Amino acid sequence: MARLFSPRPPPSEDLFYETYYSLSQQYPLLLLLLVIVLVGLLALLAVAWASGRELASDPGFLTTMLCGLGGFSLLLSLASREQRLQRWTRPLSGLVWAALLALGLGFLFTGGVVSAWDQVSFFLFVIFTVYAMLPLGMRDAAAAGLASSLSHLLVLGLYLGLQPDSQPALLPQLAANAVLFLCGNVAGAYHKALMERALRATFREALSSLHSRRRLDTEKKHQEHLLLSILPAYLAREMKAEIMARLQAGQGSRPESTNNFHSLYVKRHQGVSVLYADIVGFTRLASECSPKELVLMLNELFGKFDQIAKEHECMRIKILGDCYYCVSGLPLSLPDHAINCVRMGLDMCRAIRKLRAATGVDINMRVGVHSGSVLCGVIGLQKWQYDVWSHDVTLANHMEASGVPGRVHITGATLALLAGAYAVEDAAMEHGDPYLRELGEPTYLVIDPRAEEEDEKGTAGRLLSSLEGPKMRPSLLMTRYLESWGAAKPFAHLSHVESPVSTSTPLPVLVWGMRWPPVTLLPSHEPGEWGRTVTTHLHPLPWRLSSPARVLLLTSLHTLRIPFGAEESDCNQEKALSSFSPQWSLDRSRTPRGLDDELDTGDAKFFQVIEQLNSQKQWKQSEDFNPWTLYFREKEMEKEYRLSALPAFKYYAACTFLVFFSNFIIQMLVTNRPPALTITYSITFLLFFLLLFVCFSEHLTKCVLKGPKMLHWLPTLSVLVATRPGLRVALGTATILLVFSMAITSLVFLPAASNCPFRAPNVSFTASNLSWELPGSLPLISVPYSVHCCVLGFLSCSLFLHMSFELKLLLLLLWLAACCSLFLHSHAWLSDCLIARLYLGALDSSLLRPGVLKEPKLMGAISFFIFFFTLLVLARQNEYYCRLDFLWKKKLRQEQEETETMENLTRLLLENVLPAHVAPQFIGQNRRNEDLYHQSYECVCVLFASVPDFKEFYSESSINHEGLECLRLLNEIIADFDELLSKPKFSGVEKIKTICSTYMAATGLNATSGQDAQQDAEQSCSHLGTMVEFAVALGSKLDVINKHSFNNFRLRVGLNHGPVVAGVIGAQKPQYDIWGNTVNVASRMESTGVLGKIQVTEETACALQSLGYTCYSRGIIKVKGKGQLCTYFLNTDLTRTGPPSGTLG
C-alpha cells in the first residue's frame, strides 16, 4: 500500500533527453515523412493518369491509393497536434510504420503480376525511414526494420513458392532482397547511431554551455558584490577595467600608460559630512576577550553601526581598531548630509547606552562630525580601501578625539547645515587638542531629544547584568548580548548568490501529460526547516513557448543533473537543481531579485538554449546562421568550421564500403557473372581496400613500426585524411562516385540497341521456351535490381554525415539525373522488354499493361525522386546539427575561457581584500559563512611606517586642484611600497591597510594557529628579519621618489612583535584586520619615533639582536596608554652584523 501512495520518482536524464530528441529533432522529420508519403501518393496518381492508364480498371490499386491518402492525412493531422504527440509518441510512430507496411503490401498485390523484385525499393524506404525519421529508440527501430524485411521476404516467398514455375529462380532473388534489406537496416542503424551520438553530444554541450553561462553569471555577480563591498559603483567600473587589463597582460604587471604615474582613482566631492566615532573603554575590554569573542564583538558592533549608516544614508569608510568613520553625501550628493550624520551619531550613542545598561560593561561612544569637502577614492595597488582625504576630514577626526563620551561633537559648519533640527549647547571646554586650539572656532554638543525619555523609562535591560553579571566575565556578557543584534556575517551575500534556494519548495512536474506529485527540496544549510512543507504552484510563464518547450520547462526542474563538482548525493542534486531554478526561492529577502525577474532571466536563458536545438530553428532568422545556406554569418567561424578535423571520416568510408559490397553480392546473385564484370569489381575492390587502409592506418601503428623504417610514415595517412578538408572532400566524393558507377555497371553489359525478341509479333509464350535472358547478354531480371542498386547509391551519399549540404545536393542531383536518363531514356527499352516477357501469353487484356509500380522504369523513377527528397531533408538536418554542434563547442570553449578569466578576477579581487591564506575561506563551491573567521597568532611582527612630512606637504589650492595633485604623489608612494610585496623575498609580508600617509603591514600571519608555540624562539620569530628588510626597502623606495619629485620626505617606522588576533569583520564592507596590544604598541612606536629611524620595543630589540641585527637604546620615553617604556633604535647602517645595506633615512 505504501508503494501505491508514494510519490512517483521524477523522470531521469535519459527520459528528458528522449523527450527533447523526439520533440525537437524527430518531430519535424515525422511531419516531413508524412508529407513526402502523401506527395508520393499524389504523384503516383498523376503518373498513372498521365500515362493513359484507366484507374477504374484496377480497383485494387485505386482502393489502396485512396486508403493510403486518407490514412496518412489522418496521421498528419494527429501528428500536427503537438499535445497529442507528447503523450502518444510511440503509438503514433507505430501507426505510421504499420500504415507504411500495409501500403507496401497493398502495392505488392495490385496493379499486375507479383514478382520477387516488387516493392523492394518501397520497403527499403520504409526500413531506412524507420531509423532516420521516426521518433523511436534504437531497439524499436531495429525491431520495426527487421519486421519490415521479414514481412516482404516471407509474403513473397510463400506466395511465389506456390506459383507454377513461370518466373526465373526465386531463391537468388529472395537472397538479393535479403541483402538489400540487410544493407538498408545497417545503413539506417548506422545513420541513427551517429545522429543520436551527435545529438546527445550537442545536447550535453548545450547544457554544459548553459551551466558555464550560469557559472559566468555567478562569477560576475561575485565580482560585482566584491567590488561593491570595497568601492562605490562608479569607481568599481573604472577599476575593474584596469584589473582586466592586468589579467590580460599578466598578473602583477600593469598596463602601459602614456605617463610614468600609476592610475589615480580619486575625485573631489563638495557638500559632505564626515563622522568619526570611537568606543571609549573598548581597549581594556578587548584585552579580556578570547579571539573568537573579540572578532564576534567587533563584527556585531560594527555590523550594527553599518545598519544605522544604511538607515541614515551614510557610507562607512573604514574601521581603524575600535574607531569607525563614515561620510554622508557620497557618492551622490544629499542636501541633508549633516542631519544624516548627526542622527547616525545619536543612534550610535543610544545603541552603546543600551548595551552598557543591559550588560553593565563600562563603555561609551564618542562622536565627532564636521561638514565640508573631501577627496575620495582609492590609492595604491593592493588591499584597496575606499578612503577620504582633506583638511575637513582631519578636522572631523580631531572633533572626535576632543569630544565628550556619549555625546555628538559638531563644528559650526555642521551646525549651520542643521537649520535648527537639533538643539545644541556650547562645548565650553578648553581644547586639549592643539589642532582645534589653533583653529580657535567654537564647537558644539548636540542634545539628544530622546535621552531624557530613556532615563525616565529606566533600564529594564539591567536585568541581564544583575542576573548573569556576577557569574560571567564582562567580555562574555557583552558577547552574549551582542549576538542578539544578529549582524550579518562578512561575505554572506556571496553565499546567497550561489545558494539562492533557502526554503523547502515542492515543484510540480508535468511530463507525458501526467502530473507528478510535488517533490520537496530540502536545503542542507537549513536543517531546522526539514519538516516544513510549502505548497506552491507553477508561475505563469512570461514568454510564449511551444508545447514541447512547455514539457521541457516542467521536466527540466527535476531531470537536469549537471556536475557542479560536488559529490553525487541527493542534497547535491538538489543544490544543482536550485542553481538552475533560482526563481523557486520563497525567501525574497535573500535573493537579489523577485520571482518574475528570475523567471525572465534564469529559465528564460535555459529555454532559449533548448529552443535553439529545435531543428525548426534552421528555417528561422538567426544571429549565427544564414537560414537558407546555413553558413555562419561570421566568415572566420565558417572558415574554422570547414577546416575543422573529422576523425569519424573513416567510419563513413567503412559504411560506404558495406553499400558497395551489397551491390556486388546482389549483382553476383542476379547475373550470370560475366568475366568483364568480375574484373571491374576486382579493380574497384582494390581501390576500396586502399582507401580503407589509408583511413584506418593509425590503427596499424604497432604493426607498421615493427616493419621497415621506410613504412613508418603510413600511420600518418589517416591523420592527414581527418585533418585536411580538401583531401577528405576529394576522397569522399571519389568514394560515392565509385559506388554510383558500380551500381549501374551491369547495364553496360546489356545491349545498347532496343532489340527485344519478346516484343516480336510472331513470338508466343511457348516459343520463348521460358527464357529470361537476352541473346548473349545478362538476364532481364538484373534490370529491376539495377534500379535497387541505384537506390543504395542514393543511401551511400547520406552516410557522409559531415559532408557539406551543397556537395550532397550536387551529388544527389547528378545521380538523379544519371539514373533517370538511364532508365527513362537510353535503357528504357530494357524495362519494356522485361514487361513484355513477364506478360507474354497473358489471356486477360487488362494484364497486358501493368500498373505504375509494376513497371521497372516508372517504379525506379518514382523511387529515385522519393529518395532524393527524403535524403535531401536529412542532409539539411544533418548539416544544421553538425554546424550547431560546432557552434556549441566553440561557445562552450569561449565561455569556459571567460569563466576562467572571471574566476581569476574574482580570486584577485578577493585576495585584494583578504590575505591569500584567508581568501579560500570565503570563496569556492563549499564556502560556509556560519562562523566568523578569526585566528590567533603567538608571534606576529607589526610595522607602522608613516611619512609625517606629507601632512605639511598637503595643501588645498587651485594650483594643485584642491589637493588632488598632492594625493597623486601619495598614490605613487603607496603604489611603490605595494610593488615591493610582489618580490619573492617579501612574500611573507602582508599589507593590512593604509591610514592617510601611514602604511601598516605584518609578517607571521601565514603560520597556522599554535605552530609558533611549538617552535623555538629563534625559528618562530625569524620573520622579524624579513620585516626589517622590508622597512629598509620602503626607505629606499622613498629615496627614489624624493629624487624624482624633488622632495625630502623621510620615513618614520615603528616595529613590535607579539601575539595578535586576526579576523574578518563587517558585512557591508568586509575588512581583514589584526588587533591586540602588539598592534597598539607598534602604532605608538611609530607615533613617538624619530624621522629616518626604526623604533622598536625592548623585547623586539632582543629578538632582532638574536637574528644578527644591531640595536641601540634610545632611553625611556612616555607612551600614551602604556606609561614609561624603554625603546631602541635599529641600526640601519648595518642591518645585520656583517655586510652593509641601504640606510633608512
Q: What's the pLDDT at 114?
A: 86
Contact at 8 Å (CB) between 400 and 410? no
Q: What percent of the chain has pLDDT over 70?
A: 71
Q: Strands, DSSP E only, in 464-621?
A: 506-511, 514-520
For residue 427, give the C-alpha cell. 562645548
Give the tens place of pLDDT for each residue, 1105-1121: 888 888 999 888 888 87
Give the tens place of pLDDT for each residue, 629-641: 888 888 888 888 8
Contact at 8 Å (CB) between 367 and 375? no
Residue 410 has pLDDT above 90, yes or no: yes
Torsion, CA 377, CA 381, CA 383, CA 388, rounded to 10: -20
Between strands 1052-1065 and 443-446, the pairing is unpaired
Between strands 998-1003 and 934-946, the pairing is antiparallel
For residue 897, give the C-alpha cell. 575561457
CA angle, 570 then 573 then 575, to 5°? 115
* Residue 705 confidence class, pLDDT cut points 50, 70, 90: low
Give the tens place of pLDDT for each residue, 578-620: 333 333 232 333 333 433 443 344 445 555 555 555 555 555 6
Q: What's the pLDDT at 460?
A: 46
Tell me the chain's radius of gyration from C-alpha atoms: 44
CB atoms closer than 10 angstroms to residue 76: 17
Between strands 387-389 and 364-378, the pairing is antiparallel
Partners of 1128 in the β-ladder? 1096, 1113
Q: Classify the C-alpha dihedral 561-566-567-570 as positive or negative.
A: negative
Between strands 408-411 and 323-328, the pairing is unpaired
Q: What's the pLDDT at 179?
A: 95
Between strands 989-995 and 1071-1075, the pairing is unpaired
* Residue 343 confidence class, pLDDT cut points 50, 70, 90: very high
**1120 tagged catalytic:** yes
Contacts of 851 (CB under 8 A, 6+ apart): 48, 53, 58, 61, 110, 111, 112
Residue 449: which of 599, 358, 346, 531 has the closest Cα? 346
Q: What's the pLDDT at 483?
A: 61
Give the tens place of pLDDT for each residue, 481-521: 666 565 555 555 444 444 433 333 333 333 333 333 333 33
SS3 29: helix
- The mean pLDDT of 425-453, rounded to a whole number, is 79
Contact at 8 Å (CB) between 98 and 35? no
Angstrom CA distances, 34 to 29, 73, 129, 1028, stand at 9, 8, 11, 86
Contact at 8 Å (CB) between 246 and 262? no
The b-or-e profile of 787-816 (16+ CB within 10 A means b, else e) is bbbbbbbbbbbbbbbbbbbebbbebbeebb
Partners of 941 in the β-ladder? 1003, 1057
Q: What's the pLDDT at 91?
A: 84
User: How would you classify residue 617: left for phi > 0, otherwise alpha for psi between -120 and 50, otherwise beta?
Assistant: alpha
Q: What's the pLDDT at 488?
A: 55
Least confident of 37-41, 233-237, 711-715, 1100-1104: 711-715
Residue 863 has pLDDT above 90, yes or no: yes
* Residue 346 confidence class, pLDDT cut points 50, 70, 90: very high
User: Mean pLDDT over all residues of the chain?
Assistant: 76
- For 1005, phi and psi rounded to 5 degrees? -85, -15
Q: What's the pLDDT at 709?
A: 64
Q: What's the pLDDT at 578?
A: 37
* Residue 642 confidence class, pLDDT cut points 50, 70, 90: confident
Q: What's the pLDDT at 713?
A: 67
Name the residue with higher pLDDT: 987 or 225: 987
- The mean pLDDT of 1063-1092, rounded to a whole number, is 85
| DSSP one-letter code for 11 | P
Name the residue with higher pLDDT: 1139 or 676: 676
Give the tens place of pLDDT for each residue, 888-900: 788 878 877 877 7
- For 396, phi and psi rounded to 5 degrees? -60, -40
- The mean pLDDT of 12-31, rounded to a whole number, is 64
The CA distance from 415 to 424, in Å, is: 8
Give the tens place of pLDDT for each residue, 992-1032: 888 888 999 999 887 654 444 444 444 567 789 899 999 99
- The mean pLDDT of 201-221, rounded to a whole number, is 75
Q: What's the pLDDT at 701?
A: 65
Least confident of 273-277, 482-486, 778-782: 482-486
For residue 814, give the C-alpha cell. 547528378
Q: What's the pLDDT at 150?
A: 95
CA angle, 184 then 186 then 190, to 5°? 115
Q: What percent of the chain has pLDDT over 90?
A: 26
Give the rounded distance of the alpha carbon of 484 from its chain centre: 40
Residue 457 has pLDDT above 60, yes or no: no
For residue 359, give the C-alpha cell. 550588560
Q: What's the number of CA atoms in the CB half-sphere (13 Å) around residue 92?
A: 28
Active-site pick, 343, 883, 1084, 1093: 1084
Listed as own residue / partner, the contacts of 589-596 with beta carbons closer than 8 Å and 24 or more positions apart are 590/496, 590/500, 590/502, 591/496, 591/500, 591/502, 592/221, 592/496, 592/497, 595/539, 596/539, 596/542
Active-site pick, 633, 639, 983, 1120: 1120
H or E segment to which residue 303 belongs: helix 291-311
Contacts of 760 (CB under 8 A, 6+ apart): none
Residue type at position 398: H
Residue type at position 596: D
The CA distance from 967 to 336, in Å, is: 28
H or E segment to which residue 1117 belongs: strand 1111-1119
